[in-house]
């Protein structure tokens, strides 16, 4: 077709097709600048304010994360498309309420397409969730500043706190290539008595040293956190039940052999849980917590599994 006769997606025919297909199209007019093509489908208006329809990422964490990927794709000058994960703005993905975004190069047009995920919801959910979480993990591990911010949330131990850990654990579970995943919950035995005998300063120094020890002890793929006051959590992707028990036993023994300043040798009780089908992070945490209770009731300085 001669150049002068080319149609763009701003035409009435193309816009009406997109609207009928329940697709919102935003044309790229500059770096991080877009304009909405035609009338937005109802789902789009329900999710994003009409007054800011050309900047939906300002109201969507997932779109905000995806936009740099789209911009990079556009910069390559290739034809084709790249897709984001799927999401719902409150985080719970349900059929009829999940969105998917695509960056599309079509001739000279560079488009950001957003649509409601329909009949293929079930078949695409796992794949796209994994894709999204892999993107988040790659960004986390490749961004020293962000990683330092999260890992330095707890000033005393240098480990993530509970809230950041739960978010990371959810991503790690979804992106585990083998599907195997274990959680360790360890609690320092009789720490209240040690605090009374040796003072807070010595005990704080011990907690700080334990945080450093955990970072050195664990594999690169593992994530440790200060879950509560003297309770620590370790997420171990790709680890089955036998491997997690071995890991926990080695960790328990290694901690008992460490020096923690003015304090006598510390011991820890450890509870383990291994992923079962359809488990969410909360399920592993609940079982690991029960296993930790079992370890405490069995005399402490021991590993138990649930």
Return the pLDDT at 290. 95
Output 151 or 109, whichever has higher pLDDT. 109
Q: What is the dihedral of CA 128, 133, 139, 140, to 10 degrees?
A: 180
Q: Would you say residue 28 has pLDDT above 70? A: yes
Q: What is the mean pLDDT of residues 104-128?
A: 70
Q: Would you say residue 219 has pLDDT above 90? A: no
C-alpha to C-alpha distances, 26 to 9, 57, 72, 80, nearest whole angstrom: 10, 12, 16, 16
Residue 226, classed as helix, strand or coil, is: strand
pLDDT band for position 2 (cuts 50, 70, 90): very low
Give the number of other Cβ atoms within 10 Å of residue 176's Cβ. 19
Q: Would you say residue 7 has pLDDT above 50? A: no
Return the pLDDT at 245. 94
Output 277 or 86, whichever has higher pLDDT. 277
Average pLDDT, the chain: 79
Q: Would you say residue 198 has pLDDT above 50? A: yes
Give the number of other Cβ atoms within 10 Å of residue 9's Cβ. 19
Q: What is the mean pLDDT of residues 129-147?
A: 59
Element (H, E) at 199: none
Q: Would you say residue 296 has pLDDT above 90? A: yes
Q: How many helices (H) and strands (E) does the chain have?
A: 10, 10
Return the pLDDT at 266. 92
pLDDT band for position 195 (cuts 50, 70, 90): confident
Q: Any bridge partners for residue 30, and if so which?
A: 33
Output 296 or 136, whichever has higher pLDDT. 296
Q: What is the mean pLDDT of residues 271-285?
A: 90
Residue 180, classed as helix, strand or coil, is: coil
Q: What is the mean pLDDT of residues 136-147?
A: 59
Return the pLDDT at 231. 94
pTM above 0.95, yes or no: no
Structure tokens at 258: 């460490």
Rounded to an integer, what distance in angstroms lies between the CA atom of residue 26 and that of residue 39? 11
Return the pLDDT at 31. 84
Query: In sequence order, which ranges of the chain are alpha helices (DSSP H)?
Result: 12-20, 42-47, 61-76, 121-142, 144-151, 162-175, 191-198, 200-217, 241-256, 281-297
Q: Would you say residue 274 has pLDDT above 60? A: yes
* Conformational region of residue 243, where left means phi above 0, alpha means psi within -120 to 50, and beta covers everything else: alpha
Give the number of other Cβ atoms within 10 Å of residue 228's Cβ. 12
């Amino acid at each position: 077709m001669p150049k002068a006769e080319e149609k763009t997606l701003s035409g009435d025919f193309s816009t009406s097709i997109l609207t009928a297909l329940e697709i919102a199209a935003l044309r790229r007019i500059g770096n991080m600048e877009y304009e909405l093509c035609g009338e937005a489908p109802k789902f789009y208006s329900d999710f994003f304010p009409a007054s800011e329809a050309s900047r939906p990422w300002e109201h969507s964490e997932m779109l905000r994360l995806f936009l740099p990927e789209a911009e990079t794709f556009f910069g390559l000058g290739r034809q084709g498309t790249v897709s984001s994960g799927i999401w719902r703005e409150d985080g719970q993905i349900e059929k009829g309420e999940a969105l998917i975004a695509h960056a599309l190069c079509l001739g000279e047009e560079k488009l950001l397409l957003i649509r409601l995920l329909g009949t293929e919801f079930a078949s695409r959910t796992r794949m796209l969730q994994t894709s999204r979480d892999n993107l988040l993990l790659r960004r986390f591990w490749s961004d020293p500043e962000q990683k330092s911010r999260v890992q330095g949330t707890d000033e005393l131990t240098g480990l993530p706190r509970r809230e950041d850990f739960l978010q990371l654990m959810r991503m790690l579970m979804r992106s585990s290539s083998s599907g195997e995943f274990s959680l360790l919950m360890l609690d320092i035995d009789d720490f209240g008595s040690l605090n009374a005998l040796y003072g807070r300063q010595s005990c704080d120094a011990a907690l700080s040293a334990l945080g450093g020890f955990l970072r050195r002890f664990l594999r690169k793929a593992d994530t440790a956190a200060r879950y509560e006051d003297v309770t620590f959590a370790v997420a171990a992707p790709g680890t089955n039940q036998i491997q997690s028990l071995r890991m926990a036993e080695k960790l328990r023994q290694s901690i008992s052999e460490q020096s923690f300043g003015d304090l006598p040798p510390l011991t820890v009780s450890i509870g383990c849980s291994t992923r079962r089908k359809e488990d969410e992070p909360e399920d592993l945490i609940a079982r690991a917590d029960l296993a930790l209770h079992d370890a405490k009731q069995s005399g402490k300085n021991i590993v138990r599994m649930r």
